C-alpha cells in the first residue's frame, strides 16, 4: 500500500504515462464525487496508489450523478 496525496499521485501517473489525461482537477473531482476512495489524514486526502488504476477504470465506467435539481447539489459557495 502506497498512500500519496493527490498532487503526488498525479505526478507519479505522469511519470509512468506522460500522455495521461488525468489532471489534478479531474482527480479531485472524482474524489469529491466519491468515485475514488481516500483516507483522510488531517486535512489531506490520501489515495492508495497501488489501487488507483482500478479506481480510474471503474470511474470511467460509472457515470457521475446527473441531477440538475439545485436541492440535490447541496449548497453552492
Q: Which residues contact 9 (CB under 8 A, 6 or more apart)?
A: 27, 47, 49, 52
Q: Which pLDDT belongs to residue 71?
A: 56
Report field, pTM of the whole predicted structure over 0.75 = no
For residues 29-62, one letter each, b for 16 or more C-beta atoms within 10 angstroms of the residue's C-beta and e for the rest, the string is: ebbeeebbebeeeeeebbbbeeebeebbeebeee
Tell me the C-alpha distance between 24 and 70, whole Å: 26
Per-residue pLDDT reduced to its tens digit, 24-73:
999 999 999 989 999 999 999 999 999 998 888 876 665 555 545 555 55
- Would you state the torsion angle of the CA atoms of residues 40, 41, 43, 46, taken in this order, to the nearest 10 degrees? -60
Amino acid at each position: 500500500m502506497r498512500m500519496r496525496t493527490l498532487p503526488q499521485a498525479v505526478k507519479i501517473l505522469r511519470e509512468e504515462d506522460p500522455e495521461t489525461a488525468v489532471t489534478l482537477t479531474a482527480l479531485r473531482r472524482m474524489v469529491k464525487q466519491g468515485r475514488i476512495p481516500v483516507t483522510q489524514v488531517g486535512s489531506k486526502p490520501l489515495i492508495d496508489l497501488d489501487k488507483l488504476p482500478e479506481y480510474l477504470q471503474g470511474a470511467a465506467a460509472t457515470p457521475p450523478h446527473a441531477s440538475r435539481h439545485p436541492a440535490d447539489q447541496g449548497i453552492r459557495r
